């Protein structure tokens, strides 16, 4: 077996394509523990440098998807629609999109993960709500999907277990930013999770894995093709992450912003950022469209907006929180969510146009405040973070609010202030605002 693994490593090292048999043998060996980590890591590095063609990527995805359980949710939902974001700073989209889509009559059962590094995790955000738990077994997952049409749970080790093992290796061997490996990781979990249709939100920019629109488009195209080859309906949005999405960065702060967005009004001092609402309604509309609920994207947008305006989306969110043990008083009164002991607003020191925001640097600023984790298993502080109502293209005057920082200590607050100021570039010349979306692929 060791000799055969060497043959795979050498073949990929030299730029050859691996056969379907070789790929499936490798994935099975990973799950069964027959292949040592050092050989798996060597193959991952060879793939990182040499890449994979479309057929190899499809075979790797399918092998990983079938390395564990394959969910079938059709006994509780005739069409299962899922979404996936490649991660970003201030990306609380799931908290708004899921309940809105469910309120449109499209059941949504989603498994999400925790954050690592500058990209926040959906589960971490939701755990800002006292008592809320992502731990659901399959029977309870299905029952809740049947009862209220909305579930948000943690990822189970029974789905695509090969991905969990390989991702852990990629994380410590510098092979995470590989397009075929990213595509296989994302799509294997989506296919194993039982989705009939998937909307992908692929981020591009300083706060994302993909540094350029071209790289993001390549990744999105591969994932759309993998899904379509597997018989799924697919859509992909290429979205901007050269500035945080919305204003809030930090777990409880993002939950407050999500609740305000579902209400459509300022809530607990948290405003509704126009960019975040437009992003959320666009993603939700594509999910409703792929589910076949309406025949056009315009009608889907109208349906989603009406669900928000009636308060149905907020009610779905409240039902999900209650069903999973959360304190709904914190939904009704978001000021009861965790609050940092130190809150300070910092002002712009000079007039000018915002020409650049380093979203990646701001993500790491949130991590250093305690809102994220630099390594797996680290504890996080749900209360800390910052709210920055500033976007590229804005004209600011000296004294305008740059950000409001929520910190656990004065030292952390001062460090965050310095980092936030350094992440925002002001110039005298005006610039155009950044687009929310650069491209849309698949069934759009």
Q: Which residues are catalytic?
A: 84, 163, 170, 185, 189
Within 13 Å of residue 39, how many CA atoms lie on the same side as its CB?
18
- For residue 389, the tally of other CB atoms under 10 A from its CB is 15
**Nearest-angstrom CA–CA distance, 58 and 393:** 41
Spatial CB neighbours of 151, under 8 Å, sequence gap ≥ 6: 108, 109, 110, 136, 141, 144, 145, 320
Question: Contact at 8 Å (CB) between 403 and 390?
Answer: yes
Within 13 Å of residue 239, how many CA atoms lie on the same side as its CB?
27
* CA-CA-CA-CA torsion sign (349, 350, 351, 352): negative
**Nearest-angstrom CA–CA distance, 186 and 189:** 6
DSSP string, 32-60: HT-S-HHHHHHHHHHHHHH---HHHHHHH
Q: Is 240 helix (H, G, I), strand (E, B) or coil?
A: strand
The position carrying tokens 């959320």 is 280
**Nearest-angstrom CA–CA distance, 255 and 263:** 12
Q: H-type helices in 310-409, by residue range?
A: 312-323, 329-332, 359-369
**Nearest-angstrom CA–CA distance, 175 and 243:** 25
């Amino acid at each position: 077996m060791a000799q055969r693994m060497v043959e795979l490593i050498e073949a990929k090292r030299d730029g050859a394509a691996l056969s379907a048999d070789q790929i499936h043998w490798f994935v099975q060996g990973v799950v069964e523990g027959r292949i040592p980590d050092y050989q798996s890591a060597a193959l991952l590095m060879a793939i990182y440098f040499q890449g994979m063609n479309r057929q190899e990527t499809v075979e790797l995805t399918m092998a990983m998807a079938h390395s564990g359980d394959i969910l079938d949710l059709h006994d509780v939902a005739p069409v299962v629609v899922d979404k996936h974001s490649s991660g970003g700073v201030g990306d609380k989209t799931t908290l708004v999109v899921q309940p809105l889509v469910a309120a449109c009559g499209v059941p949504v059962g989603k498994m999400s993960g925790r954050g690592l590094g500058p990209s926040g995790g959906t589960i971490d955000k939701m755990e800002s709500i006292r008592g809320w738990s992502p731990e659901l077994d399959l029977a309870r997952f299905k029952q809740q999907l049947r009862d209220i049409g909305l579930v948000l749970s943690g990822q189970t080790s029974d789905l695509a277990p090969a991905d969990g093992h390989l991702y852990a290796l990629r994380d410590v061997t510098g092979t995470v930013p590989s397009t075929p490996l990213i595509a296989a990781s994302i799509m294997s979990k989506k296919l194993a999770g039982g989705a009939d249709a998937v909307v992908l939100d692929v981020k591009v920019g300083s706060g994302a894995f993909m540094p350029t629109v071209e790289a993001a488009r390549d990744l999105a195209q591969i994932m759309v093709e993998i899904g379509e080859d597997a018989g799924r309906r697919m859509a992909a949005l290429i979205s901007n992450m050269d500035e945080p999405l919305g204003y809030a960065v930090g777990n409880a702060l993002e939950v407050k912003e999500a609740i305000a967005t579902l209400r459509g009004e300022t809530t607990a001092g948290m405003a509704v950022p126009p960019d975040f609402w437009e992003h959320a309604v666009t993603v939700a509309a594509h999910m409703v469209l792929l589910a076949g609920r309406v025949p056009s994207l315009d009608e889907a947008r109208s349906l989603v907006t009406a669900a928000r305006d009636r308060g149905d989306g907020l009610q779905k969110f409240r039902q999900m929180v209650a069903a999973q043990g959360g304190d709904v008083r914190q939904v009704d009164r978001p000021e009861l969510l965790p609050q940092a002991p130190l809150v300070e607003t910092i002002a712009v020191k000079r007039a000018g146009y915002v020409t650049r925001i380093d979203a990646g640097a701001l993500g790491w600023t949130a991590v250093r405040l305690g809102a994220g984790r630099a390594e797996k298993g680290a504890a996080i502080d749900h209360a800390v973070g910052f709210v920055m109502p500033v976007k590229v293209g804005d004209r600011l005057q000296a004294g305008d609010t740059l950000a409001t920082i929520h910190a656990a200590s004065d030292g952390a607050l001062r460090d965050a202030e310095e980092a936030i100021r350094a992440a925002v570039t002001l110039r005298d010349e005006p610039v155009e605002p950044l687009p929310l979306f650069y491209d849309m692929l698949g069934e759009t």
